């Protein structure tokens, strides 16, 4: 830890008569009251008065207070950044004009006008649309690159006059990108293993090497954090390495957020087609995934609100989904003479992947927020509950999304969780209005309960055999498919627990609830070790909150399987929620799952 002298020596100016906060920070104070301008600008507590605070002792208390103020400055800076980002998003998504016509004409006209005026390309001007056959270009992130040269060629490629530090940074970024593809991405999305004939995961690399700078920087941030956890492995002697990685993470995040702000601010500065809007939406969703993986409190709400607003602007009518998707096709690959069905282009694959994750996050956030899914009207068109063809990881692509591919869940399983959240929201509104009908509540709930129980029985009867799961940091291959049957069964038991709490209240001893909790616990304990555990944070948390005291150690053991990677993803937050709920036992019948998801003082979405 740095000494107090080192902490306080960051400035040469020291205030002798100003507020004690400025004195502590060794900053000049204008002595305004009740709050000086410096503290007001930083949005931190301004301590002033005739009596010297007891923490100004020149010793341990002052050192502790200096650390506290330093943390407060960083925290408020992050909040200001988020507010500015939200303002930009609100402006961008409200004023964006989507048009399929005239995009290139308007862009070329603007570029010609800038050239005539002698203006160079900047972050908010419309760049060139020249791209490689499969590139996934953002129309607002050209930065200072010449229009015909993708920015990543400057970041990855060598060049004269580049100093040694820049070369080292470039090399590190390449390694982080590979770490993301080989380890981080499979950890976050263990079920996403598209067959080579539908394009595989090559689109991820293509998207990272496109003009989408924000997506790239956010991805490097995720990889650096993951790598830091692997190095640290929970051992204190590696704290210095961990600190350096976290510093790199913060740098990359700042770069990513800056680029994303530029993208958003450009949305209303020119006409664009859905492709441009989708690129920005995908960056926002990736940022949401980052915030959840880092456990950054309620920042995910801000990003989810923005992503949903932008998605609605891009696709106002759900029936236009397939038309929009097939409008992103790339006709150059594979060559027509190959005589095969075309795999998804980078833009199509990215659109499908991020849209699936947006729908998934929308449903799980509805549980936390105790409201219906906001994209409910899109579900039946984009991810229909009834599929006429049998799915497998080798299934050739089709327009409607199948959540098995992205999250390992049948479409109807995710939909029924959203329906339970809608029922919970209806129950709350009726209760507040004093018009709740228990008979109607039970009638609606019985339909959902029959569907869940029927689904569990169907899964058990059709595919009772266990199958293999990838290990924690292995590279997934097609021969190591996750256990889709066990995965869906665990989610359905958790949905059954959730539904019963809505219908009968918080009653852990109720036979219906205790039986489902016991079965969920048994399945979780018997899962093969692997990253698929990270994809079960939500059902694990729901069952764990209602588990009996003697089973607490079992849930701690389950989470401990990930070792040093426990902080990565949602499992850490799930464990924090369970421990807080256990500490507050016994809970009255009015308690519910939504309250569990908010028990930490902020809403948590377990992805």
Radius of gyration of the chain (CA): 26
CA 298 remoteness from chain centre: 11
Whether 523 maps to a domain, the answer reads yes
* Position with higher pLDDT, 510 vs 93: 510
pLDDT for 83: 64
Q: Is the pLDDT of residue 29 over 50?
A: yes
pLDDT for 160: 44
Whether 39 maps to a domain, the answer reads yes
Whether 188 and 66 share a structural domain: no
Helix (H, G, I), strand (E, B) or coil at 433: helix
Q: In the structure, what pLDDT confidence band is assigned to residue 338 with cuts at 50, 70 and 90?
A: low
Whether 54 and 198 share a structural domain: no
Whether 311 and 455 share a structural domain: no
Average pLDDT score over residue span 93-111:
41
Identify the CA nearest to 249 among candidates 184, 306, 304, 153.
184
How far are the Cα atoms of 204, 279, 470, 520 from residue 403, in angstroms, in the given order? 18, 21, 19, 21
Q: Which of 132-146, 198-212, 263-277 has the highest mean pLDDT?
A: 198-212
User: Are 60 and 93 within 8 A, CB to CB?
Assistant: no
Q: Which of 201-215, 245-259, 492-506 has the highest mean pLDDT?
A: 492-506
Whether 166 and 266 share a structural domain: yes
Whether 601 maps to a domain, the answer reads no
pLDDT tens, position by position, 214-237:
788 788 888 888 887 887 765 666
Whether 384 maps to a domain, the answer reads no
pLDDT for 375: 96
In percent, how much of the chain has pLDDT > 90? 31
Average pLDDT score over residue span 352-367:
96
* Position with higher pLDDT, 193 vs 413: 413
Identify the CA nearest to 31 among candidates 19, 21, 20.
19
pLDDT for 100: 37
Residue 19 DSSP one-character state: -
Whether 133 and 248 share a structural domain: yes
Q: Name which of 14-18, 216-220, 316-320 the model is least confident about.
A: 14-18
* Position with higher pLDDT, 20 vs 259: 20
Q: Is the pLDDT of residue 96 over 60?
A: no
Whether 485 and 554 share a structural domain: yes
Whether 49 maps to a domain, the answer reads yes
Helix (H, G, I), strand (E, B) or coil at 272: strand
Q: Is the pLDDT of residue 240 over 80?
A: no
Whether 193 and 316 share a structural domain: yes
Q: Number of C-alpha atoms within 13 angstroms, CB side, residue 559? A: 24
pLDDT for 461: 83
* Alpha-carbon span 176 to 204, nearest angstrom: 14
pTM above threshold 0.75? no
Whether 66 and 120 share a structural domain: no
Identify the CA nearest to 140 among candidates 25, 243, 246, 269.
269
Whether 71 maps to a domain, the answer reads yes
Whether 422 maps to a domain, the answer reads no
Structure tokens at 276: 């441009």
Q: Is the pLDDT of residue 494 over 70?
A: yes
pLDDT for 110: 43
Q: At what angle do helices 346-369 and 411-433 cross, to 10 degrees?
A: 30
pLDDT for 27: 86
Q: In the structure, what pLDDT confidence band is assigned to residue 172 with cuts at 50, 70 and 90?
A: confident
Whether 323 and 470 share a structural domain: no
Q: Sign of the CA dihedral 520, 522, 524, 527?
A: negative
The residues, any chain, with a CB within 8 Å of residue 118's CB and separated by 6 or more, are none
Q: Is the pLDDT of residue 120 over 50?
A: no
pLDDT for 92: 46
Whether 65 and 165 share a structural domain: no
Average pLDDT score over residue span 436-455:
95
Whether 70 and 136 share a structural domain: no
User: Are 156 and 170 within 8 A, CB to CB?
Assistant: yes
Full residue range of the structural domain in which residue 472 is found? 437-596
Q: Give the domain-ending residue among 78, 102, 127.
A: 78
| Average per-residue pLDDT for the chain | 76
pLDDT tens, position by position, 373-418:
999 999 999 999 876 455 554 445 567 899 988 999 999 999 999 9
pLDDT tens, position by position, 124-150:
232 233 333 334 443 333 333 333 333
pLDDT tens, position by position, 543-597:
999 999 999 999 999 988 887 788 888 888 999 999 999 999 999 999 999 999 9
Q: In the structure, what pLDDT confidence band is assigned to residue 315 with cuts at 50, 70 and 90?
A: very high
Backbone φ and ψ for 378, nearest 5 degrees, come out as -90, -15
Residue 180 DSSP one-character state: I
Report the number of distinct structural domains present in the chain: 3
In the block, residue with structure tokens 């169907």: 458
* Alpha-carbon span 323 to 315, nearest angstrom: 10
Structure tokens at 57: 């002792």
* Alpha-carbon span 407 to 418, nearest angstrom: 15
Identify the CA nearest to 136 among candidates 220, 206, 219.
206
Whether 490 maps to a domain, the answer reads yes
pLDDT for 86: 54
Average pLDDT score over residue span 304-332:
88
pLDDT for 16: 61
pLDDT for 462: 75
Domain CATH number, residue 43: 4.10.240
Whether 236 and 131 share a structural domain: yes
Residues 569, 201, 128: CA angle, nearest 5 degrees:
100
Q: Name which of 263-277, 319-333, 509-523, 561-575 the model is least confident about.
A: 263-277
């Amino acid at each position: 830890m740095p000494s107090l002298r080192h902490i306080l020596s960051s400035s040469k100016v020291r205030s002798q008569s100003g507020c004690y906060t400025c004195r502590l920070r060794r900053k000049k104070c204008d002595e305004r009251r009740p709050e000086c301008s410096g503290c007001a600008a930083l949005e931190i507590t301004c301590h002033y008065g005739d009596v010297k605070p007891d923490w100004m002792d020149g010793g341990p208390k002052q050192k502790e207070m200096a650390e506290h103020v330093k943390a407060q400055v960083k925290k408020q800076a992050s909040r200001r950044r988020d507010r500015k980002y939200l303002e930009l998003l609100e402006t961008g998504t409200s004023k964006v004009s989507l048009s399929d016509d005239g995009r290139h004409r308007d862009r070329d006209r603007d570029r010609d006008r800038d050239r005539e005026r002698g203006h160079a390309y900047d972050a908010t001007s419309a760049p060139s649309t020249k791209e490689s056959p499969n590139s996934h270009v953002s129309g607002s992130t050209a930065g200072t690159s010449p229009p015909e040269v993708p920015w990543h060629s400057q970041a990855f490629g060598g060049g004269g006059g580049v100093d040694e530090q820049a070369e080292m940074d470039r090399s590190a970024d390449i390694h982080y990108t590979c770490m993301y593809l080989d380890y981080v991405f499979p950890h976050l999305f263990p079920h996403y293993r598209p067959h080579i004939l539908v394009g595989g995961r090559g689109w991820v690399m293509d998207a990272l090497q496109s003009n989408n700078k924000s997506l790239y920087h956010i991805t490097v941030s995720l990889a650096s954090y993951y790598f830091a956890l692997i190095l640290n492995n929970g051992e204190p002697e590696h704290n210095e390495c961990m600190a350096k990685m976290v510093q790199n993470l913060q740098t990359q995040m700042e770069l990513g957020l800056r680029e994303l702000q530029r993208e958003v601010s450009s949305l209303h500065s020119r006409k664009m087609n859905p492709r441009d809007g989708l690129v920005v939406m995908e960056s926002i969703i990736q940022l949401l995934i980052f915030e959840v993986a880092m456990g950054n409190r309620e920042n995910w709400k801000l990003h989810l609100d923005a992503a949903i607003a932008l998605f609605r602007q891009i696709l106002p009518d759900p029936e236009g989904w397939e038309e929009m998707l097939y409008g992103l096709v790339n006709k150059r690959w594979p060559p027509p003479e190959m005589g095969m069905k075309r795999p998804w282009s980078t833009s199509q694959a990215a659109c499908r992947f991020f849209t699936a994750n947006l729908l998934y996050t929308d449903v799980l956030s509805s549980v936390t927020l105790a409201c219906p899914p906001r994209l409910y009207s899109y579900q039946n068109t984009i991810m229909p509950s009834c599929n006429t063809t049998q799915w497998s990881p080798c299934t050739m692509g089709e327009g409607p999304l199948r959540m098995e591919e992205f999250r390992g869940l049948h479409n109807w399983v995710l939909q029924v969780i959203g329906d339970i959240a809608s029922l919970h929201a209806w129950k709350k509104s009726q209760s507040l209005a004093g018009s709740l009908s228990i008979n109607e509540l039970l009638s609606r709930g019985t339909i959902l309960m029959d569907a869940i129980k029927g689904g569990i029985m169907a899964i058990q009867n059709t595919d009772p055999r266990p199958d293999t799961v990838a290990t924690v940091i292995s590279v997934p291959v097609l021969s190591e498919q996750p256990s889709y049957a066990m995965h869906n069964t665990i989610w359905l038991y958790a949905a059954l627990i959730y539904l019963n709490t809505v219908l009968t209240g918080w009653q852990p001893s109720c036979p219906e609830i205790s039986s489902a909790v016991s079965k969920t616990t048994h399945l979780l304990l018997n899962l093969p070790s692997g990253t698929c555990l990270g994809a079960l944070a939500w059902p694990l948390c729901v069952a764990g909150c209602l588990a009996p005291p003697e089973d607490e150690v079992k849930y701690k053991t389950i989470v401990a399987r990930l070792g040093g990677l426990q902080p990565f993803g949602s499992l850490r937050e799930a464990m924090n929620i369970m421990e807080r709920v256990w500490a507050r036992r016994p809970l009255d019948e009015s308690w519910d799952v939504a309250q569990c998801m908010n028990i930490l003082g902020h809403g948590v979405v377990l992805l």
